[in-house]
Amino acid sequence: MNKIGIIGAMDEEVNILKGRMQEVTIKTIASMEFCEGKLNGKEVVVVRCGIGKVNAAVCTQILADIYQVDAVINTGVAGSLRNEIDIADIVISIDTLQHDMDATGFGYEHGVIPRMDNSIFLADLQLVTLAKEVCAEVIPTVGVHTGRIVSGDQFISDSGKKEWLVEKFGGYCTEMEGAAIAQTAYLNQIPFLIIRAISDKADHSAEMTYSEFEEIAIGNTVKLLDRMLTKL
């Protein structure tokens, strides 16, 4: 993997990484600022895609077409869907799907994309294994979970919805971009990984805890990514 695309939804999620880059060239495409350069000696393109699945998909397609990246890593925060997954813990994607894809009125199961051969996108196993190893090395006291990440154009702050995401899809955490990045990577045959740090519990407390823990959660993903790049 020579060139890695790194996508975060928000400035807070990518600014620390951008600040550590060298030999940087910046280009604005589709209103997104693509920062190409080196991070720990590795060729990377770091970009803030904005929130939601459309932004995430557009951004990933640009990384594929213009930058021809060999892999895409999505980093950021997420809401936990399980009691054992605590604030600031890390979730590494095994696979991901869109929980808000709903063609049930047309005879499809929730989450299934009509007329596509696949609706659950598998993360690259080499990247999953590396992320787990590096977590044990750089953030040994932080809980690390490997499982399904469910994405939708919804900030989840409701216990009923949260339960449904677990019952229906077996989700570990929820966010708003991962599955769109994964689907775009899949269509372009590019390996991908989603790494999310938990900022809230995706229930009534979500809005409050989100702002309190966002910074700690992001700090953990930055440490992890920084080290991963030295090993890729």
Residues within the interface to ligand ADE (CB under 6 A): 77-79, 155-157, 174-176, 199-200, 202, 206, 210
Kindly name the residue from 13, 175, 177, 214 that is annotated as catalytic: 13
CB of 51 to ligand ADE, least distance (A): 9
Query: Which string of DSSP letters, residue by residue, matches 115-143?
Result: T-S-SSEEPPHHHHHHHHHHHHHH-TTS-
DSSP structural state of residue 21: -
Kindly name the residue from 89, 200, 203, 214 that is annotated as catalytic: 200
**Residue 60 or 174 having the CB closest to ligand ADE:** 174
Residue 200 is a catalytic residue: yes
CB of 129 to ligand ADE, least distance (A): 25
**Residue 136 or 208 having the CB closest to ligand ADE:** 208
CB of 33 to ligand ADE, least distance (A): 21
SS3 for 67?
coil
Residue 13 is a catalytic residue: yes
SS3 for 57?
helix
End-to-end CA distance of the chain: 7
Question: Rounded CA gap, 42 and 140, in Å?
Answer: 24
State the catalytic residues.
13, 200
